[in-house]
Chain A
Amino acid sequence: EAQVTQNPRYLITVTGKKLTVTCSQNMNHEYMSWYRQDPGLGLRQIYYSMNVEVTDKGDVPEGYKVSRKEKRNFPLILESPSPNQTSLYFCASSLWAGAGNTEAFFGQGTRLTVV
């Protein structure tokens, strides 16, 4: 089954404790991205990757890191989480770097709470 898999689905952590949210897709997609969803703000892009070893900042990259060492995986790293990073996070992938004209497939989401 074609899918984007995120883990964990739920995470409660303390301020400053490094964490990683994993994302994996099995569709051989080139383009992957991370979004955060906050009430009233919609989905905002954190980082994106057009292919292996190619990543770039989205609209809200502060406090986040990503890596793309393999085509299928695109982990999101919070080196020192803070309460304002409490949010619902989504990983998405699409077929090729022209993300505007192909369907974006989203994972199930990771609800992160930083206390």
Chain B
Amino acid sequence: QQQVKQSPQSLIVQKGGISIINCAYENTAFDYFPWYQQFPGKGPALLIAIRPDVSEKKEGRFTISFNKSAKQFSLHIMDSQPGDSATYFCAASIDDYYIQGAQKLVFGQGTRLTINP
């Protein structure tokens, strides 16, 4: 129940195209869903995050779509650029200090995104 399943494992997109990465979860107690971006040789860094009270959040070319009933959320990268080539991780957590096990991010398996010029 603590798992977050991410797909695809790898993705190749042409420059200017739309990159889409999908995640699904089982634990309905999850209420915070961030995406992290990781460049080679670096640690992950927060890209964008969403809470289940909204269905979409957009920051620049990056959009999270959230479907609470389906327990799925996805990252869309519009006008994908070679500089977006990185590994992307979705994650989920429970935003409650007092719930056992809430004190951690549960990560998906990661997606290696390559944007061809």
State whether A99 touches B109 (Cβ < 8 A): no
State whether A100 touches B109 (Cβ < 8 A): no
Give B60-117 interface residues, CB cut-off 8 Å to A: 89, 93-97, 102-105, 107-110
State whether B89 touches A43 (Cβ < 8 A): yes
Give A56-110 interface residues, CB cut-off 8 Å to B: 56, 58-59, 90, 92, 97-101, 103-109
State whether A100 touches B45 (Cβ < 8 A): no
Number of A residues near B (Cβ < 8 Å) is 29
Among residues of B, the one whose C-beta sits closest to the C-beta of A56 is: B103
Partner of A100, one of B43, B94, B108: B94
CB neighbours (8 Å) of A92 from chain B are: 43
A50 to B46, CA, bound (A): 20
Number of A-B contacts (CB under 8 A): 73
A100 to B93, CA, bound (A): 5
A50 to B9, CA, bound (A): 32
Number of B residues near A (Cβ < 8 Å) is 27
Among residues of A, the one whose C-beta sits closest to the C-beta of B91 is: A43
State whether B103 touches A50 (Cβ < 8 A): yes
Among residues of B, the one whose C-beta sits closest to the C-beta of A41 is: B109
State whether A43 touches B102 (Cβ < 8 A): no
A44 within 8 A of B: yes
Give A28-56 interface residues, CB cut-off 8 Å to B: 31, 33, 35, 40-45, 48, 50, 56
Among residues of B, the one whose C-beta sits closest to the C-beta of A104 is: B105
A28 to B87, CA, bound (A): 28
Using CB atoms and an 8 Å cutoff, list the residues of chain B in contact with chain A: 2, 6, 9, 31-32, 34, 36, 41-46, 89, 93-97, 102-105, 107-110
Taking A35-B107, A100-B93 as known contacts, 8 extra A-B pairs with beta carbons closer than 8 A to each other, sorted by chain A number, are A42-B6, A42-B109, A50-B103, A90-B43, A100-B32, A101-B32, A101-B95, A104-B44
What are 9 A-B residue pairs whose CB atoms fall within 8 Å in the complex?
A: A41-B109, A44-B107, A48-B103, A90-B44, A97-B97, A97-B103, A100-B32, A108-B42, A109-B41
